[in-house]
Amino acid sequence: MIIDGKKISEEILEKIKLKVLSIKKNRNIVPGLAVIMVGDDPASRIYVNNKKKACSKVGVYSREYFLPGGISEEDLLKLISELNRDQNIHGILVQLPLPSHINENAVIEAICPEKDVDCFHPFNMGKLLTGNANILPCTPAGIIAALEHEKIDISSKHCVVVGRSNIVGKPISLLLLQKNATVTICHSKTLNLEDVCRRADILICAVGKANFISKEMVKNNAVVIDVGINRLPNGKICGDVDFDNVKFIASYITPVPGGVGPLTVSMLINNVLECFGKLVEKI
């Protein structure tokens, strides 16, 4: 069973669209998202454009800032400070990675936690750790949305997460724990990785290595979630999982593209609404 992330995302966006229409009608205000991109990375520009399209589709106001790669950290922080005070902006996203001369942690921490739609700020990560999060990191939230849409039971299942990044690996592990899964986190120092992966009921891979997960690493009828996005020498996009071979073994699998990617975008837009709601409550 191939999990159609694009279809699930469209269903989520349609629900968000109705909420935005209600907000416009009852409050005469529009939720707003600001996206900042530093430099001219082609992949990042695609992501930013996809976010803009999603905002337009549901009626969320979006503002994009395409900044030169040589911008100083001071000037970038100044812009974030201005957006923190902007009452028309309810969510702020800085596209990562940033140029090496800019401290990513300083930039993330400069974003007001109440406008941190990526859920990268230490305050929001702390709330996630304690199970009290108001918003969830976009890609992990998209993974949970996919599993729940397909009515895949998480409770008591052995979930193996390959990758320990702050963006995907660590937060998805926390969310799975909160759903009563037994979670194993694997990384570059894990011994007998193939054996560990083969024990997974639900296998999630986010390492950024093309076709890293082979069919020998997947047990029969496992659920396989591929978070990777890799470009091959021939220009084609593929994930971290050898999809063509693993799909015959897995009970459910996400494709790349068209799997987790669209869900990440829809969860981002949902976070804009969540942030909007909390900020409006304060007014």
pLDDT tens figures, 18-72: 999 999 998 889 999 999 999 987 778 888 889 999 999 999 999 999 999 999 9
Catalytic pick among 7, 15, 41, 51? 51
Total number of residues shown for the chain: 283
Q: Is the dihedral of CA 23, 24, 29, 35 positive or negative?
A: positive
pLDDT digit string, tens, across residues 207-259 = 999 999 999 999 999 999 999 999 899 989 999 999 999 999 999 999 999 99
Percent of the chain with pLDDT over 90: 91
For 123-132, 149-158, 215-224, 227-236, which range has the lowest pLDDT when averaged over its residues?
227-236
Domains of the chain, CATH where assigned: 28-112 (3.40.50.10860), 138-261 (3.40.50.720)
- Please give the residue that has the higher pLDDT: either 172 or 283: 172
- For tokens 């989520």, name the residue: 12
- Which residue in 260, 276, 279, 280 sits closest to 16, CA to CA? 276
Q: Answer yes or no: are the C-beta atoms of 144 and 228 closer than 8 Å.
A: no
Cα 276 to Cα 89: distance, rounded to the nearest angstrom = 9
Task: Say if residue 103 is exposed, middle or buried (CB neighbours under 10 Å; 0-12, 13-18, 19+).
Answer: middle
- Of 56, 92, 57, 61, whose CA–CA distance to 76 is shortest? 92
171 preceded by a cis bond (ω within 30 of 0)? no
Per-chain mean pLDDT for the chain: 95
- Measured CA to CA, the distance from residue 234 to residue 209 in angstroms comes to 16
pLDDT grade, residue 280 (50/70/90)? Answer: confident
Q: Is the predicted pLDDT of residue 74 greater than 60, yes or no?
A: yes
Phi first, then psi: give them for residue 206, nearest 5 degrees: -145, 70
pLDDT-derived band at 112, boundaries 50, 70, 90 = very high
pLDDT at residue 32, as a whole number: 97
What per-residue confidence (pLDDT) applies to 44? 80
Catalytic residue of the set 116, 118, 201, 242 = 118
Q: What is the pLDDT of residue 37?
A: 96
For residues 3 and 74, what is the distance between their CA atoms, to the nearest angstrom?
Answer: 43
The pLDDT of 72-79, averaged and rounded, is: 98
Is residue 283 predicted with pLDDT exceeding 70? no
Rounded Cα–Cα distance for residues 16 and 198 (Å): 38
Scan for tokens 């990268």, then name that residue: 120
Looking at the predicted structure, is the pLDDT value of residue 2 above 70?
yes
Q: How far is 219 from 230, CA to CA, in rounded Å?
A: 24
Token pair recorded at residue 160: 């193996």
Q: Is 87 a catalytic residue?
A: no
Catalytic: 118? yes
* Higher local confidence (pLDDT), 186 or 49: 186
Query: Phi/psi of residue 220, each to 5°?
Result: -60, 135
Looking at residue 66, its pLDDT comes to: 94
What's the mean pLDDT in 86-108? 96
Selected catalytic residue, list 25, 57, 86, 95: 95
Least confident of 39-53, 167-181, 193-207: 39-53
Cut 0.85: pTM above it? yes
Instruction: Kindly tell me if the per-residue pLDDT of 202 is higher than 80.
Output: yes
Catalytic, 95? Answer yes
Question: 3-state class of 30 per DSSP?
Answer: coil
The two structure tokens encoding residue 170: 């660590």
